[in-house]
Amino acid sequence: MDRSHYNAGMQGSAAGSLRLLSVVMGGFLVLMGLGKAGWLFDSGPLSDELWGWRESAPALSVWYLDTVAIPGVPLFARVVPIAELLTGAALILGFRARLAAAVALLMVLNFHFASGILFQVTYLTNGYGPPVVGSLAALALGAARLPFSLHR
C-alpha cells in the first residue's frame, strides 16, 4: 500500500478542516466586532464593562484593569472592534490566517484575563473560553497555506 497517497489525503483533510475552522472563527470575530462598533463613537460601554469586572475580579486582574485597561479605554474602544473585524475578515479570506489567529487569540486572552474568568473553574465550561481559545490556537499553529485562501 502506498502510504504517501494516504498521508497526502490526511494532510488535505486536515488543511480543509482548518480552512473551515478559519471561516467559522472569522465569522465569529466579525460578528463580535460589529457588536462593538458603537465603541468607536462612545467608549462608555467598554468603560462600564471594565468597571463591572473590577468589582469581582481577582487581585491580578484588578491590577491589570487599574494600570492598563481602564486608563486605556479611549484607545481600546477604537482598536478592539477594528481589530476584531480585520482579524475576522482575514480568517474568512484566509489572508495571513496564522497571524490573524494569533492576534485574535491575544485579544481573547486579554479579555479573559481582565474579566478574571480565566482564573475560575467555570472558565472550562464557558463557550467563549476553551472552544474559542483552542480554535484560535489551532489556527495560529497550523493554518499555513490553507486551501481556498488568499496567500500573502
What pLDDT score was predicted for residue 49? 97
What is the sign, positive or negative, of the torsion defined by CA atoms of 41, 46, 79, 134? Answer: negative
Question: What is the per-residue pLDDT across 51-91, written as a single tens digit (0 to 9) for each?
Answer: 999 999 999 999 999 999 999 999 999 999 999 999 999 99
Give the span between the Cα atoms of 142 and 11, in whole angstroms. 11
Question: pTM to 2 decimals?
Answer: 0.87
What is the sign, positive or negative, of the torsion defined by CA atoms of 55, 59, 65, 67? Answer: positive
pLDDT value at 152 more than 60: no
The H-assigned helical ranges of 36-95 are 44-56, 59-64, 73-93
Where are the domains positioned within the chain? 14-142
What pLDDT score was predicted for residue 10? 45
- Side chain identity, residue 49: E
Question: What is the per-residue pLDDT across 107-150, written as a single tens digit (0 to 9) for each?
Answer: 999 999 999 999 999 999 999 999 999 999 999 998 777 777 77
The conformation of residue 36, written as its DSSP 8-state character, comes to T
Nearest to 31 by CA among 128, 148, 126: 128
pLDDT value at 1 more than 90: no
Give the span between the Cα atoms of 54 and 48, in whole angstroms. 10
